[in-house]
């Protein structure tokens, strides 16, 4: 089976103005910047894109902009996150994305309340039966009910429209299981910290990377080198740089640290859903200064 996705996909932030409205011009220019830096595609409206803050009309408009932007780039694909609190909303988002030409949908489990594995199976099958695009399960246990490896395998094996998984848990157990069982599934790493080991073990078809939104140069090089020779010294150096960057991101809520670096690169002003506490203002200044000192090792010229 040919994987639905392959390579480095940037999980794109959703740039907003101070009043909370989406800045469409910045979003479009950001997509073009990422294309120029060699990404293979985009993931829109995932955790990095703060899907819980995106309204349905905003989602529809984001889909239109992405579709327009990639018209002249036939090799670029995009997938759309359809996170919601229930199946009806996820289905509506999924069909909007399908009409816009999304290659596939990222389906996180319904958020806020904890659910059982039986619940998430019912949810996933209901959505899969009602949308017009292939689905990648989106395991996001930091924010939604987790998908157990056995649950993911069952859904992918037995549900026609569920073709793989983006696993953002940081664990490789599900990708290893799909590989060892010979399941013809698209296996995507969704946690930047887990990518290097996945490449070493050859258990991934690609990465959807939040870091790639702000540092596409680092992530595209790391992925390509890891596919060629994950034991090379040059690959190890790139992995060390990524680990260093992730350590700086970790004190911030997802995806605030990426916004700070995007602003430092003049991609978009860093805006937040509420005013920053004084401690965060200090952290932001420190992170910006750190980035200025480490640009070269992060592959930023």
Confidence of residue 49 (pLDDT cuts 50, 70, 90): very high
Tell me the two tokens of residue 50.
Answer: 């703060």
The confidence score (pLDDT) of residue 159 equals: 97
Does the pLDDT of residue 26 top 80, yes or no?
Answer: yes
User: What is the C-alpha separation between 39 and 16, in angstroms, rounded?
Assistant: 23
pLDDT at 301: 83
Instruction: List, in sequence order, the alpha helices (H) in the chain.
Output: 24-36, 56-69, 87-100, 117-128, 149-158, 173-180, 195-201, 211-214, 216-228, 233-249, 256-264, 278-294
Burial of residue 154, with CB atoms counted within 10 A of its CB: 0-12 exposed, 13-18 middle, 19 or more buried: middle
Tokens of 278: 């004084």
Measured distance CA(287)–CA(251) in Å, rounded: 10
How deeply is 273 buried, as exposed, middle or buried, from its count of CB atoms within 10 A (0-12, 13-18, 19+)?
A: exposed
Torsion angle (degrees, nearest 10) of CA 57, 63, 66, 72: -130
What is the predicted pLDDT for the residue at 1? 74
- 1-10, 198-207, 287-296: least confidently modelled range: 1-10
**192-198 average pLDDT score:** 98
DSSP 187-241: EEE--GGGHHHHHHHT--SEEEESHHHH-HHHHHHHHHHHHH-TTSHHHHHHHHH
Band (pLDDT 50/70/90 cuts) for residue 299 is: very high
| Per-residue model confidence (pLDDT) at position 45 | 99
Q: What is the fold, at CATH topology level, of the domain defined by 7-229?
A: TIM Barrel (3.20.20)
pLDDT at 144 over 80: yes
Q: Is the pLDDT of residue 83 over 80?
A: yes
- Residue whose tokens read 């060390």: 240
253-274 tens-digit pLDDT: 989 999 999 999 999 999 999 9
- DSSP-derived 3-state class of residue 2: coil
Q: What pLDDT sits at residue 263?
A: 98
CB 152: neighbour CB atoms within 10 A?
27
Mean pLDDT confidence for 78-103: 99
- Residues designated catalytic: 138, 166
Burial pattern 22-33, b for ≥16 Cβ within 10 A else e, equals bbeebbeebbeb
Distance CA 4, CA 121 (A): 21
Mean pLDDT of 222-247: 98
Mean pLDDT of 42-48: 98
């Amino acid at each position: 089976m040919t994987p639905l996705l392959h390579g480095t996909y940037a999980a794109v932030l959703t740039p907003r103005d101070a009043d909370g409205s989406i800045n469409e011009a910045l979003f479009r220019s950001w997509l073009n910047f990422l294309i120029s830096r060699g990404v293979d595609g985009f993931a829109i409206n995932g955790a990095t894109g703060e899907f819980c803050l995106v309204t349905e009309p905003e989602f529809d408009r984001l889909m239109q902009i992405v579709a327009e932007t990639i018209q002249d780039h036939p090799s670029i694909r995009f997938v759309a996150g359809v996170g919601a609190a229930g199946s009806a909303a996820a289905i509506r988002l999924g069909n909007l994305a399908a009409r816009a030409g999304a290659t596939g949908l990222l389906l996180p489990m319904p958020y806020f309340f904890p659910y059982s594995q039986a619940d998430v199976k019912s949810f996933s099958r209901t959505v899969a039966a009602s949308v017009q695009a292939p689905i990648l399960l989106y395991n996001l246990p930091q924010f939604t009910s987790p998908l157990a490896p056995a649950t993911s395998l069952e859904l992918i094996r037995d549900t026609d429209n569920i073709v793989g998984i983006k696993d953002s848990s940081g664990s490789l157990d599900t990708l290893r299981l799909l590989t060892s069982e010979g399941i013809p599934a698209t296996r995507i790493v969704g946690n930047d910290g887990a990518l290097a080991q996945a490449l070493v073990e050859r258990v991934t078809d690609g990465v959807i990377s939040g870091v790639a939104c702000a540092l596409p140069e680092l992530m595209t090089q790391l992925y390509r080198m890891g596919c060629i020779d994950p034991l090379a010294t040059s690959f190890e150096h790139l992995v060390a740089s990524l680990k260093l960057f992730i350590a700086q991101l970790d004190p911030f809520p997802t995806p605030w640290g990426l916004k700070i670096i995007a602003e430092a690169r003049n991609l978009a002003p860093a805006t937040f859903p509420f005013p920053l506490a004084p401690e965060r203002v200090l952290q932001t200044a420190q992170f910006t200064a750190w980035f200025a000192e480490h640009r070269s090792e992060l592959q930023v010229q």
